[in-house]
Amino acid sequence: MSGKLSLVATPIGNMEDITLRALRVLSEADVIFAEDTRHTSNLLTHHEIRKPLQSCHDFSEARRSSEIADRVAAGGRVALVSDAGTPGISDPGFRVVRACVERGLEIEAIPGPCAAIAALSASGLATDEFHFVGFLPVKSGACERRLRELSIIPGTLIIYESPYRIARTLERIAAIFPDRRMVAARELTKKFEEFRRGTAATLLAHFQAHVPRGEFVILVEGGE
């Protein structure tokens, strides 16, 4: 019996956003490796799935990769999930996939929720070409250099940000892209989902006046 690594996309907020295939794969797995076993345990309990759980997060992925590849090589059915969305997209998963690829093992992607695509589809900005940035550098100089590098890219930019850094990031974007249309999407798929549109300056003014809550996806109109 040949083993397989299944990358399973999980809800980014709303528990109903999981596919029938994802539920089947999770229920058939021999073991599920999760970014946070407590978080994934709640998801599995909600869907009445009982499977062994082991952790695979940012600090353990390098070590876990060979172990997971060994399990797959031995015929195991291994599922990999992150806390929310698609594994490997600003979440653990890349090292595990690479370890399995290097050994010629079977890998399948179980598609589903992804915050970047959900935000883009409802943004009103161009969707024919886009560039996924993920999280910007934390340090001011590195962040500004990165934004200037991105300024010549024609497609819509998709940036992830936390509520604690959203104001500082909008300040930096305003300095480099003062006139571009932007969208700030937060709490995607949840009760208080919100899309705010405007320039970086108008978005900054709003979140200075209203305490930002929830994880953000920032979308910036592409350069000409």
The pLDDT assigned to 153 comes to 93
Backbone angles phi, psi at 24, to 5 degrees: -65, -45
- DSSP secondary structure code for residue 85 in this structure: B
pLDDT at 224: 72
Same-domain check for residues 96 and 170: no
Do 192 and 177 belong together in one domain?
yes
Q: What is the pLDDT of residue 18?
A: 97
- 137 shares its domain with 106: no
Burial class (CB in 10 A: 0-12, 13-18, 19+), 82: buried
**Residue 1: per-residue pLDDT:** 57
- Kindly report the CATH number assigned to the domain that includes residue 32: 3.40.1010.10
Q: Of 92, 110, 128, which marks where a domain is finished?
A: 110
Q: Are residues 127 and 209 in the same domain?
A: yes
**Residue at which a domain ends, from 86, 110, 134:** 110
The rounded distance, in Å, linking the Cα atoms of 86 and 99 is 18
Indicate whether 19 and 97 sit together in one domain: yes
Q: How far, in Å, CA of 224 to CA of 142, rounded? A: 23
**CB contact at 8 A, 187 and 216:** no
CA distance 48 to 55: 20
Within this chain, do residues 37 and 54 fall inside the same structural domain, yes or no?
A: yes
**Domain final position from 73, 89, 110:** 110
65 & 84 share domain: yes
Length of the chain: 224
Best CA proximity match to 44, nearest among 3, 15, 7 = 15
What are 63's two structure tokens?
Answer: 């070590």
Kindly state whether residues 161 and 95 are assigned to the same domain: no
Are both 159 and 183 inside the same structural domain?
yes
Same-domain status, 35 and 96: yes
Residue with token string 């305490």: 211
**Amino acid residing at 134:** G
The answer, as to whether pTM is greater than 0.85, is yes
CATH, residue 155: 3.30.950.10
pLDDT on residue 2: 80
8-state DSSP, 176: H
Helix, strand, coil shares, percent, the chain, to 5: 35, 20, 40
- Residues 9, 101: one domain? yes
Look up the domain containing 35 and give its range. Answer: 4-110
Same domain, 72 and 40: yes
Reported in sequence order, the residue ranges of 138-209 that DSSP labels E, i.e. its strands, are 156-161, 182-186, 194-198
Both tokens assigned to 13: 């907020």
Structural domain tally of the chain?
Answer: 2
* Sheet containing 156-161, strands listed edge to edge, beginning at the edge strand earlier in sequence: 130-135, 156-161, 216-220, 182-186, 194-198
Over the chain (224 residues), the average pLDDT of each successive run of 10 is 92 95 98 97 96 96 96 98 95 96 98 97 97 96 96 95 96 96 97 96 96 96 87
Residue 136 to residue 145: CA distance in whole angstroms: 10
